[in-house]
Chain A
């Protein structure tokens, strides 16, 4: 079972992390610094839809800073996973001449523009035509290319679902769908743009691998792993800048969950932006004497059975948290697996059968019960059920 090195998380850990070094933010080391600088100085950071959000957490005790090019010791680094995607793509373009990138008129927002500028001959803007983009990606892949196709999650996974099924998944082609602007944290654009069903739509497809990076470090590593992986992959990325959680020593492996906090009272299993919320919830619970194990489940499919079964056996209760419908995402996948292999009380934190709306990312996470306080309160419910 892997135990991650946590780079930083807001409050002091309690109990101490087993086998993990919790480094103060000043300990930023060159590799991480390089990535953060690349992100912070990326010209797209000033792009049209990049007005900085005030902060990601509601908890005012957690100071949030934007990533800037000058890394004077910040309290918490924040960066968007889509930014890491752009940086990773541009690096991969150097390593592998077979990589082709497609976008559908959102290259500034998805960050594929980084690749487009470095490798203009291997970038194709397909216009506002997502279904056509996926079919084209499949054809390129059938000719031996490694294709990254990007749009907002809503349009990549939603609009182009059937072409993905028919032309990418059935022939099992090497297409990497890297979709940004997933979930409620899209914010003010509202429900038409807040994709809360993509994990359901993607994990149900045979041959598809589904990955949700929790921070920019993991996103960058995941993109490298995805490029090396043979077959269709869906990677879910975020618009919002979220806390950097992992250390640059972190090792990402497709299909492997990672324990990021030790504890045996209950297990919080989270993916994407909810990992930060789960870690914060664990600190809230720790102050009440409850020791929560926190697991980052970056790969939704295939699920890491070992880490989940161990968590269920050790803790006797599992809460899942995702920025997605409570139906059909991480919670459904984990529930199904544990129902077979280690049945325990389960609490699924997600959006409860509703669409989103226009507001700031923070307001929406709170309103739809995806913030740390909500996870802590649902954890208390779960513990009552466990102990009943």
Chain B
């Protein structure tokens, strides 16, 4: 079994920033794991500009933004494993990694989960009809077009006016495809105003608000959709050969759920980036992840101070006593430390971000506001 002080799962902007900041906070054994062949996460498929305005004070595209962090990582002594997937996160802090080199079991004192998010599938919506080929989620379409160089269709309808949907709409127009409309069920655009102007209005792509797709047509490949006006219920049959959906992003927290202990996130586990909640801007992802990297570093140092150095500890080192040790070191008046779950059954605190956000149990899992955001974040059950 290999041992690391901190293991960071996911090499997107969040994971890279967290790993670098943990290393810069004096932790020497940090491992960064990425499933893809290269670091960068979602940024690699974002060929458009619009990244780095607040963090670097200049406008970069996705790969350029990623490249700055990849360079810092190459210059550091961080251990990086690409083409390697974290397949299991055990309750005692062991991480199991799967890659071409084999199956690795890593013992970590702290784990930072920066696994990003996934797209909500169309199956979760009340859309009826057939299930033919030609339906893509926006991120999948973006990756196929921008990284795979594939031609995925020519007559396109986009469902959902999230940022990714609008960016993909513009990309398809730039590739010479016909984007019939972007369809949004709310009365206003779902994404940033900036994207509405730069991606839709500048390219004359219609945005149909208060509309939805009620039915999908086509036997083998999609041939049309029925668009329903939610105000008056009227329906319109619109021919297309491609449907791209951008109907929501869901944080990938399944590994954290595996490690959950009695309803609470264990103290050695930290979440950041889109794995914690979905961010609009990568700059925010980076700064928050740097903060999380520092907090994870502090946590590991605290363990050392109380003599729980991982090298001496037995295999069950992260069970029970660590939490106690951690609480000893965390006087109640210290706001920075208030993120330890005090009462597992009552509420848990978001341990990821700078603010002390609180999550309370609900029928849906955990709910609450995180970082001043109004939309409830369903965190670890």
A, B bound? no
